């Protein structure tokens, strides 16, 4: 397994370009032998596929390398559909789910129809659309903490839309957004399970949903 | 009305806005633009191609801005007008006041102009004993309230109908108290009646400009109320105040940009009035001003040319970015603390007043990218906000706590083995600390998160550990 750490997005979005570049170099070298680099996250994939080349736009050699690397990077679900040609999965999930379009996956990588297409093939699952599924959940990385009150206001609104959809399960393809929305709905006492879309597509929903206890909590 | 920025207090401003129930009720209307814009874009199959063309027109203009500015000036002079070059806000105010003094002006009517806001023209006029009358309904309302615009095309979007009625009753004391102002139409009729007198008695009319056309020396304004026309035609003097980057080479270019402007702004195919004015009244003209002046404001813009923020000079002030911004939706425009709110304000404000004053704004973004998605000029707004964060970081303006945290994280992120051990240890510790509840309602050092929401505890082991275990098992 390549010696990977993080894609460096926290440094990049905090203005620490030097650290972001160092981590990007390390990542590009770590995956040099791979044909595809796949991440179960729209924002990490967006960092690799869209922003790495920007980090080196003043150095032609490194920029070329970053561009070649970027072309091999994919978000998980779009990789399955667009690259592997998967059109259906064999999985079962009994529930009504709604899918939140995480911003980076949607707007940087065009992830929109792919998860819906695969979810449609999951037995027992009914997909309903929430209003404004393309609107940000308010996570925004360090924004969620630096501007906690604002972030809270955005995710509170999002929680209302999720609840109004009537779904019992919320799915998305980005863990930051999922933790934000799960945390808010749990704080509000809403009874909606929150999962990464991959868990459902892989039929791995025997694990507890995000933020749920593994066994009954001790009293 | 003031141009003294409060952008450094963005968090406090936002806190206040979030807790202002009246404002929150009014802000719902900011979102009405969203379906209208998308419907307008869908009605026009070539809309995306038009956006490319609009971007290219402005990029070309900015690459040759000096030439087009000179060409524009030459044309204005040929048509009998005057051009004044203003390096900054103070200079622009002085030029305008000198014009007032030369004409003995006592009353100035104003079409809607963000540049007038940027230079604080109203306050300067009032201090000089000249009455300034805003004639755009929204601007008129906020002038009565002593406020700045909270949106660049809908300046009074933060105000409710009830507020306007109260403001009008307070301001229009001559009118009978018993009058019915319960309907928006009645409010409109009352404002129209008051403004009609002002139009007829103004000494100078001042407008902004949506475009300045180099090939003809023409200024173009778009309005939905026709107030701009009355402002620029009736008084003896018409003064256009506009910033340098409003220049476009030709009438055709302006027509191209007009096709994306209203669609992006309000979702109209065109604004109700698109008015072109070229020089003063010519012999034989039935109306128009005797004197035509243009004040061209730089105020930091020429310094943006050739740098990472040049793209921002393409902005045509449609407001689409703020209409689609989740942060703007929550707090409105005043919280941004200066003249320009929303994503375009978050990029432009530090450019014009400095990153030390305006640096909060480009940080207060989730980088959701919806602004860039709808910007008719394809301005990479998130990218430029990130540039500002880089400037802050380079200049050590980033808060010490955030810088330190980032440093600790970066230390591990650059050392894969340590990182793996640290994440494994942290996962175990968090899992243990969660005592099988699955999440935390509060956690030391995570108060920024847990103040508002629960924090999920880790499950199982790390991805890398699972991957190793799996590949080991299958071999």
ipTM, 2 decimals?
Answer: 0.95
**Which residue from B124, B134, B196 is spatially nearest to B167, judged by alpha carbons?**
B134
Does the pLDDT value for residue A218 go beyond 80?
Answer: no
**B161 plus B287 within the same structural domain:** yes
**A96 plus A171 within the same structural domain:** yes
Q: What is the pLDDT of residues B248-265, one digit of tens each?
A: 999 999 999 999 999 999
Contact B256, B376 (CB under 8 A): no
**A44 plus A149 within the same structural domain:** no
Which tokens is A147 given?
Answer: 């501007």
d(CA B345, CA B126): 27
Which tokens is B114 given?
Answer: 């963000």
B79 within domain boundaries: yes
**B274 plus B405 within the same structural domain:** no
A213 within domain boundaries: no
pLDDT of residue B471: 81
Domain coverage including residue A130: 87-201
d(CA B338, CA A147): 19
**A34 plus A114 within the same structural domain:** no
Does the pLDDT value for residue B100 go beyond 90?
Answer: yes
Which tokens is B62 given?
Answer: 């900015």
How many Cβ atoms sit within 10 Å of the Cβ of residue A15? 27
A160 within domain boundaries: yes
Cβ–Cβ contact A108 with B under 8 A? yes
Shortest Cα distance, chain B CAs vs residue A157, angstroms: 10
Helix axes B47-63, B65-78, angle to 10 degrees: 90
In this structure, what are the phi and psi dihedrals at residue A170, rounded to the nearest 5 degrees? Answer: -105, 130
Cα end-to-end span (Å), chain B:
73
Beta bridge mates, A99: A171
Helix axes B47-63, B251-265, angle to 10 degrees: 130
d(CA B411, CA A23): 10
Give the closest of B412, B448, B468 to A145, CB-based.
B448
User: Any idea what the CATH number is for the domain that residue A170 is in?
Assistant: 3.40.50.11810
Q: What is the pLDDT of residues A21-41, one digit of tens each?
A: 999 999 999 999 999 999 999
Does the pLDDT value for residue B470 go beyond 80?
Answer: yes
Cβ–Cβ contact B396 with A under 8 A? no
Into how many domains does chain B fold? Answer: 2
Spatial CB neighbours of B428, under 8 Å, sequence gap ≥ 6: none
Give, in degrees to the nearest 5, the angle at Cα A82 between A78 and A84.
100
**B295 plus B442 within the same structural domain:** no
**A73 plus A107 within the same structural domain:** no
A216 within domain boundaries: no
Portion of chain B with pLDDT greater than 90, in percent: 92
**A103 plus A59 within the same structural domain:** no
Into how many domains does chain A fold? Answer: 2
pLDDT of residue B249: 98
d(CA A201, CA B326): 30
Test the A interface: residue of B24, B326, B378, B419 with most A CBs within 10 Å: B326
Q: Write out residues 279-318 of B within 8 Å (CB-CB) of A.
A: none
B461 within domain boundaries: yes
Last residue of a domain, one of A79, A107, A122: A79
A152 within domain boundaries: yes
Inter-chain contact B18–A150, Cβ cutoff 8 Å? yes
User: Any idea what the CATH number is for the domain that residue B59 is in?
Assistant: 3.40.50.10420
* Burial status of residue B94 (CB atoms within 10 A of its CB: 0-12, 13-18, 19 or more): middle
**A179 plus A108 within the same structural domain:** yes
**A165 plus A128 within the same structural domain:** yes
pLDDT of residue B248: 98
B368 within domain boundaries: no
Contact A211, B454 (CB under 8 A): yes
B354 within domain boundaries: no
Does the pLDDT value for residue A219 go beyond 70?
Answer: no
d(CA B292, CA B294): 7
Does the pLDDT value for residue B406 go beyond 60?
Answer: yes
Contact B313, B301 (CB under 8 A): yes
Chain B residues near residue A139 by CB distance under 8 angstroms: 366
Q: Which residues of B303-324 are buried (b: 16+ CB within 10 A; e: fewer)?
A: ebeeeebbbbbbbbbbbbbbbb
Cβ–Cβ contact A219 with B under 8 A? no
Cβ–Cβ contact A149 with B under 8 A? yes
Q: What is the pLDDT of residues B191-222, one digit of tens each?
A: 999 999 999 999 999 999 999 999 999 999 99
Q: What is the pLDDT of residues A166-203, one digit of tens each?
A: 999 999 999 999 999 999 999 999 999 999 999 999 99
CA distances from B426 to B222, B406, B430, B449 (A): 58, 17, 6, 17
Nearest CA in chain A to B389: A15
Residues B281-309: what's their mean pLDDT? 96
Domain coverage including residue B253: 7-302
How many Cβ atoms sit within 10 Å of the Cβ of residue B249? 18
B112 within domain boundaries: yes
d(CA A70, CA A51): 9
Last residue of a domain, one of A79, A110, A130: A79
**B271 plus B146 within the same structural domain:** yes
B378 within domain boundaries: no
d(CA B353, CA B151): 19
A145 within domain boundaries: yes
How many Cβ atoms sit within 10 Å of the Cβ of residue B128? 14
Inter-chain contact B456–A211, Cβ cutoff 8 Å? yes
Last residue of a domain, one of B273, B302, B331: B302
Inter-chain contact A145–B449, Cβ cutoff 8 Å? yes
Portion of chain B with pLDDT greater than 70, in percent: 99
A169 within domain boundaries: yes
Cβ–Cβ contact A155 with B under 8 A? yes
**A116 plus A45 within the same structural domain:** no
Contact B427, B458 (CB under 8 A): yes
Confidence of residue B2 (pLDDT cuts 50, 70, 90): very low
B335 within domain boundaries: no
- Tell me, rounded to whole angstroms, the distance of Cα B182 from its chain centroid: 31
Does the pLDDT value for residue A16 go beyond 50?
Answer: yes
**A74 plus A95 within the same structural domain:** no
Last residue of a domain, one of B268, B302, B336: B302
Last residue of a domain, one of B269, B302, B335: B302
B327 within domain boundaries: no
**B228 plus B115 within the same structural domain:** yes
Chain A residues near residue B321 by CB distance under 8 angstroms: none
Contact B290, B280 (CB under 8 A): yes
Last residue of a domain, one of A57, A79, A101: A79
In this structure, what are the phi and psi dihedrals at residue B257, rounded to the nearest 5 degrees? Answer: -70, -35
**Which residue from A198, A11, A196, A186 is spatially nearest to A86, judged by alpha carbons?**
A198
**B270 plus B405 within the same structural domain:** no
A215 within domain boundaries: no
**B44 plus B193 within the same structural domain:** yes
A125 within domain boundaries: yes
pLDDT of residue B120: 96
In this structure, what are the phi and psi dihedrals at residue A182, rounded to the nearest 5 degrees? Answer: -60, -45
**B294 plus B413 within the same structural domain:** no
**A142 plus A56 within the same structural domain:** no
Shortest Cα distance, chain B CAs vs residue A86, angstroms: 22
């Amino acid at each position: 397994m390549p010696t990977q750490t993080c894609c460096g997005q926290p440094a990049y979005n905090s203005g620490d370009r030097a650290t972001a570049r160092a981590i990007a170099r390390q990542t590009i070298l770590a995956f040099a032998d791979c044909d595809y680099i796949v991440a179960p996250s729209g924002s990490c994939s967006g960092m690799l596929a869209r922003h790495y080349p920007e980090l080196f736009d003043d150095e032609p050699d490194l920029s070329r390398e970053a561009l070649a690397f970027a072309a091999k990077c994919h978000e998980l679900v779009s990789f399955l559909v667009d690259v592997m040609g998967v059109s259906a999965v064999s999985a079962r999930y009994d529930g009504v789910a709604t899918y939140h379009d995480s911003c980076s996956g949607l707007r940087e990588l065009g992830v929109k129809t792919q998860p819906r297409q695969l979810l449609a093939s999951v037995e027992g699952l009914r997909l309903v659309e929430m209003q404004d599924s393309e609107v940000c959940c308010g996570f925004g990385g360090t924004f969620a903490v630096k501007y906690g009150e604002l972030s809270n206001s955005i995710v509170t609104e999002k929680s209302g839309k999720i609840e109004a959809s009537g779904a019992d399960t919320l799915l998305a393809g980005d863990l930051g957004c999922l933790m934000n929305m799960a945390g808010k709905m749990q704080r509000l006492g809403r009874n909606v399970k929150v999962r990464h879309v991959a868990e459902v597509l892989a039929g791995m929903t025997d694990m507890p949903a995000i933020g749920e206890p593994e066994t009954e909590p001790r009293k | 009305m003031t141009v003294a920025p409060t952008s450094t207090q963005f968090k406090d401003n936002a806190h206040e806005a979030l807790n202002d129930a009246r404002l929150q009720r009014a802000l719902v209307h900011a979102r009405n633009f969203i379906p209208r814009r998308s419907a307008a874009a869908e009605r026009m199959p070539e809309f995306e191609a038009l956006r490319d063309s609009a971007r290219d027109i402005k990029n070309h203009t900015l690459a040759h801005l000096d030439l087009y500015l000179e060409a524009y000036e030459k044309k204005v002079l040929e048509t009998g007008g005057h051009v004044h070059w203003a390096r900054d806000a103070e200079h622009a105010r002085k030029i305008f006041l000198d014009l007032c003094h030369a004409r003995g002006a006592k009353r100035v009517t104003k079409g809607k102009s963000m540049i007038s806001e940027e230079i604080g023209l109203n306050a300067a006029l009032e201090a000089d004993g000249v009455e300034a009358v805003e004639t755009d309904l929204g601007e008129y309302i906020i002038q009565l309230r002593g406020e700045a615009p909270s949106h660049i095309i809908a300046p009074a979007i933060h105000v409710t109908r009830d507020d306007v009625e109260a403001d009008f009753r307070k301001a229009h004391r001559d009118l009978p108290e018993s009058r019915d102002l319960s309907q928006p139409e009645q409010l409109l009729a009352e404002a129209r009646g008051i403004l009609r007198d002002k139009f007829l008695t103004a000494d100078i009319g001042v407008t902004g400009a949506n475009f300045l056309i180099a090939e003809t020396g023409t200024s173009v304004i778009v309005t939905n109320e026709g107030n701009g026309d009355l402002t620029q035609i009736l008084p003896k003097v018409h003064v256009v105040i506009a910033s340098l980057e409003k220049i476009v080479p030709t009438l055709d270019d302006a027509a191209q940009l007009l096709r994306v402007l209203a669609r992006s702004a309000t979702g109209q195919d065109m604004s109700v009035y698109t008015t072109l004015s070229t020089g003063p009244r010519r012999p034989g003209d039935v109306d128009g001003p005797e004197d035509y002046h243009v004040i061209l404001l730089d105020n930091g813009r020429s310094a943006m040319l050739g740098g990472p923020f040049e793209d921002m000079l393409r902005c045509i002030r449609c407001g689409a970015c703020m209409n689609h911004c989740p942060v703007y939706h929550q707090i409105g425009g005043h919280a941004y603390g200066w003249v320009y709110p929303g994503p375009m304000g978050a990029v432009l404000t530090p450019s014009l007043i400095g990153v030390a004053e305006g640096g909060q704004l480009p940080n207060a973004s989730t980088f959701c990218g919806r602004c860039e998605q709808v910007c008719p000029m394809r301005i990479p707004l998130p990218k430029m906000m990130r540039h500002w964060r880089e400037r802050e970081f380079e200049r050590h303006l980033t808060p010490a706590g955030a810088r330190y945290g980032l440093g600790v994280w970066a230390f591990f992120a650059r050392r894969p083995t340590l990182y793996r051990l640290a994440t494994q240890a942290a996962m175990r510790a968090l899992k243990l600390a969660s005592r099988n509840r699955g999440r935390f309602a509060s956690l030391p050092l995570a108060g920024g998160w847990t103040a508002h929401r629960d924090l999920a505890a880790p499950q199982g082991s790390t991805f890398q550990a699972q991957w190793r275990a799996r590949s080991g098992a299958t071999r």
